[in-house]
Structure 1
Amino acid sequence: MLLLPAFRGARPSGLINGVLFAKRPLSGLCTSLVYGEYGDPEKVVKRKQEAIPKPEGKQVLVRMLAATVNPADINTIQGVYAIKPTLPSIPGNEGVGEVIEVGSEVGGDIKPGCRVIPRLNAWGTWRTHALAQYTDLIKIPSDVDLAMAATIAVNPGTAYRMLKDFVPLGTGDVVIQNGANSAVGQAVIQIAAALGLRTINVVRDRPEISELKQRLKDIGATVVVTEGELRKSEEVSALPKPSLALNCVSGRSGTEVLRQLASKGVMVTYGGMSRQPVTVPVGSLIFTDITLGGFWMTRWNKEHYDHPKRQQMLDDLFELVRCNKLKPPAHSFVPFDSYLEAIKNAMPKEGMLGKKQILVF
């Protein structure tokens, strides 16, 4: 059992996901992680303390409960991501917090005690407290598992949108994906299973491949194969050709997944873990008439800032959580004071990622 630094505020002591939390004394200080230059996250990210601000007008004071350390966060700090924030900057695209105080002009259902997530990415979740306009926050259910609440927006949101927005899919249809053991991949498996879809899941070979295959099947995967097994797998050939392929690896893996598509199928690329381009066989374009597309959750969120589709997506995802059909990916809770450990463990090793790192405050 892990004993974490005490919380500031009225939250009672207790166990959450096997982790013991206690009250934090009223210190009056906010601790943030900040980087003033791009580079190695383990070197450029520093701690900063300042007085906890008081909300005014339409502002809300949020105490962070948990925040993820995602590959996009690492890439942003390194300066190789599509978005380069103005420096100095507080990292963190995703997390969940509790409202502890509101300004006099705050409206809607944002009140002290409710849980919230940021409406936009690059909000800066790696800090103990945050001041925000109430319109920049989304209220979420307070009875949801902490890990699920902290990870709901980016990875399950990406999986949901890719399954909903590119190809009309019905019960029994087949979706193929690589990087199936990633956080998005695990969400794809679970959401697809809840929708009655079948999935072909491609993973990289590794010593513990049998255990990995079983873990993915346990959460709803139809077929799990390694990249080397894909073309010759009898389980794959026994299924109808997929009309949708999801690619987060690119390079040779992306090409092999693309080759599996049915006529007029669509491949959606949302990542490039191999750091290699996607090579498209000419025959797939001419004779199979496949379509290539891309998806970026950050862009979708901006385009649907307060659109009803955004809330509908979250409602659907939380309903799956309540029905035990959607669980968080394998993860580790890391005390905020041990942020360097979380950063180190979030860095890809030999092109593969381990457990999702979640900072807890």
Structure 2
Amino acid sequence: MSENHYAEFSECGMKPQDVLAYVSGPVPVPAEGEVLVRMMVAPINPADINFIQGVYGVKPVLPHSRAGLEGCGMVEESRADGFRKGDQVILLRGVGSWSELVAVPAVNLMKLPVAVDPVQAAMLKVNPLTALRMLEGFVSLKPGDWIVQNAANSGVGRCIIQLARQMGVRTVNFVRRPDELREELTALGADLVVGENDEDVVKSTLALLDGKRPVLASNAVGGESALRLMDMLAPGGSMVTYGAMSRKSIKVPNGFLIFKGIRLEGLWVTQWLKHAPAQDIAAAYDKLARLMAEGSLVQAVDTVFPLSEVRRAVEKAQEEFRNGKIVLKMNEA
């Protein structure tokens, strides 16, 4: 390959499709300690949209910033210990995954312990790890415990359902389109799928739990939705926020803190990856990759676009109603 194609933007824009460009440049040459990766597939996450908009926790370096925070590829050339040509890898840190070829410091890569379908592996870094940290990082869950989540049909929400089922933990899943989604989410392992805006939804849902209350709430929405989650929680329970889809602040009634003793925490896997011991990161991805390989952890895909259609793909990824993730497939050499 004499040139490399990738997605780039020279300015931030609230409509990423208006600022992104599909461009070409020279093939990157890996330095000592780096690995040249031929990217295969990369998803489009809300974090990617926010990154291009300039409102994500990691800021782009302009005027030539490459897009893409996650993806799967194969090692093309290695100048680092532990990697060799043909290894299947995912990107753990850095940006620029919407590219045919990337030169990456070895510390920013994870070699997969088993072969995983590239489309699924491309989505391994963010959503499955967020779900795993949600279930393992805040509350000591036991089989039979209940948890509650909003945005249950999101990528993270679907992963939480599947991983909770593996743990014997039961899930209450709030969605806005319950009749449309109930069958699909139940097949993944959801115990209850409930309409987010149903009348007296907290009271009617608690009546189905045989006197139990959830000990953990996973919040991706904020606003009134987060209030419902807190209302559902058992005394001493935790609500962990990892997203803010409604763009509305969380307003906490004083009684939830004083009398119920609810704990409020946040989760950003980028920060966890930055500070966690290497062996903990490897163990988490080893577990998730093996579940993916055996088909016990699956993420839904709506549409696969070629990288050359990145602007159309990004526009599609911002549509409210989709049946899974939008992913980019890199052009073949």
Q: CA deviation at 1:102?
A: 2.0
Q: State the partner residue of 1:95.
A: 71
Q: State the partner residue of 1:117.
A: 90
Which of 85, 88, 93 pairs up with 2:60? 85
Q: State the partner residue of 2:179.
A: 210
Equivalent residue letter for 1:238: L
Q: CA deviation at 1:95?
A: 0.2
TM-score of the aligned structures, taking structure 1 as reference length: 0.86
Equivalent residue letter for 1:249: V
Q: CA deviation at 1:348?
A: 4.3
For residues 114 and 203 of structure 1, the distance between their equivalents in structure 2, rounded to whole angstroms, comes to 39
Which of 7, 12, 19 pairs up with 1:38? 12
Equivalent residue letter for 1:309: D
In the alignment, structure 1 residue 51 sits paired with structure 2 residue 26: yes
Paired residues of 1:223 and 1:235 also in contact (CA < 8 A): no
Stretch of structure 1 that moved more, 175-184 or 80-89: 80-89
Paired residues of 2:76 and 2:85 also in contact (CA < 8 A): yes
Closer, same or farther in 2 for the Cα pair 1:235/1:319, shift >3 Å?
Answer: farther
For residues 319 and 60 of structure 1, the distance between their equivalents in structure 2, rounded to whole angstroms, comes to 24
Paired residues of 2:301 and 2:326 also in contact (CA < 8 A): no
SS of aligned partner of 1:153: coil
For residues 292 and 63 of structure 1, the distance between their equivalents in structure 2, rounded to whole angstroms, comes to 41
In the alignment, structure 1 residue 61 sits paired with structure 2 residue 61: no
Q: CA deviation at 1:200?
A: 0.2
Stretch of structure 1 that moved more, 75-84 or 156-165: 75-84
Q: State the partner residue of 1:294.
A: 266
SS of aligned partner of 1:259: helix
Q: CA deviation at 1:141?
A: 3.9
Q: CA deviation at 1:355?
A: 2.5
For residues 229 and 274 of structure 2, the distance between their equivalents in structure 1, rounded to whole angstroms, comes to 30
Q: State the partner residue of 1:159.
A: 131
Q: CA deviation at 1:324?
A: 2.5
Flag structure 2 segments of 5+ consecutive residues without an equivalent. none
TM-score of the aligned structures, taking structure 2 as reference length: 0.93
Q: State the partner residue of 1:307.
A: 278
Equivalent residue letter for 1:346: A
Paired residues of 1:30 and 1:129 also in contact (CA < 8 A): yes
1:323-338 pair list within 5 angstroms? 323-338=294-309
Q: CA deviation at 1:48?
A: 2.0
Which of 327, 340, 348 pairs up with 2:311? 340
Q: CA deviation at 1:142?
A: 5.3
**Runs in 1 of length 4+ with deviation above 6 angstroms?**
none
In the alignment, structure 1 residue 220 sits paired with structure 2 residue 227: no
| Bigger RCO (CA 8 Å, 6+ sep) | 2
Stretch of structure 1 that moved more, 222-231 or 66-75: 222-231
Flag structure 1 segments of 5+ consecutive residues without an equivalent. 1-26
Q: State the partner residue of 1:322.
A: 293
1:228-273, CA deviations, whole angstroms, 9 ceiling, x for partnerless residues? 2322435753241000000000000110111000010000001110
Paired residues of 2:21 and 2:311 also in contact (CA < 8 A): no
Closer, same or farther in 2 for the Cα pair 1:161/1:97, shift >3 Å?
Answer: same
Q: Among all aligned residue pairs of Structure 1 and Structure 2, give the percentage whose two residues are the same amino acid.
A: 38
Q: CA deviation at 1:57?
A: 2.5
Q: CA deviation at 1:147?
A: 1.8
**RMSD over aligned Cα atoms:** 1.6
Closer, same or farther in 2 for the Cα pair 1:115/1:154, shift >3 Å?
Answer: same
SS of aligned partner of 1:132: strand
Closer, same or farther in 2 for the Cα pair 1:142/1:90, shift >3 Å?
Answer: farther
Aligned length: 325
SS of aligned partner of 2:303: strand
Q: CA deviation at 1:354?
A: 4.9
Q: CA deviation at 1:201?
A: 0.3
Stretch of structure 1 that moved more, 249-258 or 224-233: 224-233
1:170-185 pair list within 5 angstroms? 170-185=142-157
For residues 74 and 356 of structure 1, the distance between their equivalents in structure 2, rounded to whole angstroms, comes to 13
Equivalent residue letter for 2:146: V
Q: State the partner residue of 1:107.
A: 81
SS of aligned partner of 2:23: strand
For residues 278 and 329 of structure 1, the distance between their equivalents in structure 2, rounded to whole angstroms, comes to 29
Q: CA deviation at 1:280?
A: 1.1
Closer, same or farther in 2 for the Cα pair 1:236/1:144, shift >3 Å?
Answer: farther
SS of aligned partner of 2:179: helix
Q: CA deviation at 1:310?
A: 0.4
Q: State the partner residue of 1:274.
A: 246
For residues 250 and 181 of structure 2, the distance between their equivalents in structure 1, rounded to whole angstroms, comes to 26
Paired residues of 2:175 and 2:194 also in contact (CA < 8 A): yes
1:213-292 pair list within 5 angstroms? 213-229=182-198, 230-234=201-205, 237-239=208-210, 240-292=212-264
Which of 117, 126, 129 pairs up with 1:145? 117
Paired residues of 1:174 and 1:200 also in contact (CA < 8 A): yes
